[in-house]
Every structure is written in C-alpha cells, then in structure tokens.
Chains A and B, each alone.
Chain A
Amino acid sequence: DTGVSQDPRHKITKRGQNVTFRCDPISEHNRLYWYRQTLGQGPEFLTYFQNEAQLEKSRLLSDRFSAERPKGSFSTLEIQRTEQGDSAMYLCASSLVKNEQYFGPGTRLTVT
C-alpha cells in the first residue's frame, strides 16, 4: 500500500454516460498527477496539479475530460460522453515537487 487511494477500482459504463473518478493522495504531497494506461502501453501523462492549481494538460486530454483539485487535497477526473476509446486504466500519483511519485492502484474503466 503506497498511501494513495483511488475510487472506484473498476467502472463499467455505457457509451455516452459521464463518469467521475476520485484520487486521495498522500496528505503532505503538494503534487498530484493523472496518467492513463491502455493495453500494451505504458502509462501516459494526462495532467498534474500543484496544490489546487492545474499546471499542465496533455493534448491527450480532450474537451470531454476535466480534472479538479479544489482544496489541494483529493482530486477528481471526470469524463463526459464516454467513448469506447476511453476504456483504460486511470492512474493517480502524488509527490512532493521534485521527489518520487507514489501511485494508486488505478481505476479500470470499461466503456461498452
């Protein structure tokens, strides 16, 4: 257990529905990252926060994706109007700025 938790662990949804995932980082960590991993690939960077500020978003993050970290603690990742191509493992990680990132167990999303 790394101390980073994600909820839910699995989500099955129908195409067109909205889904929201939550990440609870290690409490003293000011950085929080979201990654997406599809079959046969390594995790790909989506976005990151320093405290409550979203500092960078990947071009992979389309307009249907939005992430928040309202009080600089937990974060949510919402996908609107899901598509089958959104099926993936969504990983969250937290760190102090320069230090090692600790990963959660991920949320596996299946869009049918």
Chain B
Amino acid sequence: ILNVEQSPQSLHVQEGDSTNFTCSFPSSNFYALHWYRWETAKSPEALFVMTLNGDEKKKGRISATLNTKEGYSYLYIKGSQPEDSATYLCAFKDSSYKLIFGSGTRLLVRP
C-alpha cells in the first residue's frame, strides 16, 4: 500500500510570515509528484508537477523542491498573504498515472 504523508496537518501564521510544508512518498515506482492548492468551494488548482530528482520550481512567492531518492518534497511560501489560505495537497503519481494524495496541510494566514 502506497502511503503519502504530509506535515503539518494545519498551520496558522501571520501575514508576512514565510512557511513550508513537507510531503513524503515512496521512493519506488515514482513517476511524478504533484502539488495542488484547494480553496473551499473551488476545484483543486495545480501548482507544480515535479519529475526529476533535484527539481526546483517556482511560481511567484511559492516554490517547491523534490528529492526522489529519499522520497520527500518541500513546498515554501514566502511572505504569506491571507489569500494563500487554503489546503495544500501533494500527490504521488505512479506508473499508471493515477494520483495518490496525502491528507493535506490546511494553511490559515491571519491579516
């Protein structure tokens, strides 16, 4: 059984704080690692797709890194804003291309 773990489960920060989350996944049978941002009442929104060991991706104030050998990925948010409040999901994509999700990190950014 493939297990994808995310930590922390939830995080409350002040506007302007920087924060990071962890996703750990099996290092075997790896195809890709996805990060999604999911706001209440909306569709999960794709942030990053990462495939190569050592990948680093950036979109605005959000960036992510990938280590496939040890099976972890970090998501960083620099200078958090209230609109960053959401659940951040990571998902491991196996060789059949289906996604196996972690339970998510719920971020609340206080103004």
Contacts and interface: CB of A to CB of B under 8 A. Distances in A.
Contacts of B45: 2
B98 A100 contact: no
Contacts of B100: 45
Interface residues of B, number: 22
A74 interface: no
Contacts of A2: 43, 45
Contact residue range for chain A?
Answer: 20 to 34
B71 interface: no
A42 B103 contact: yes
A31 interface: yes
B50 to A, nearest CB: 11
B43 A42 contact: no
Contacts of A41: 103
Contacts of A93: 99
B99 A106 contact: no
Nearest to A45: B98
Interface of A: 1-2, 4, 31, 33, 35, 40-45, 48, 55-56, 91, 93, 95, 97-98, 100-106
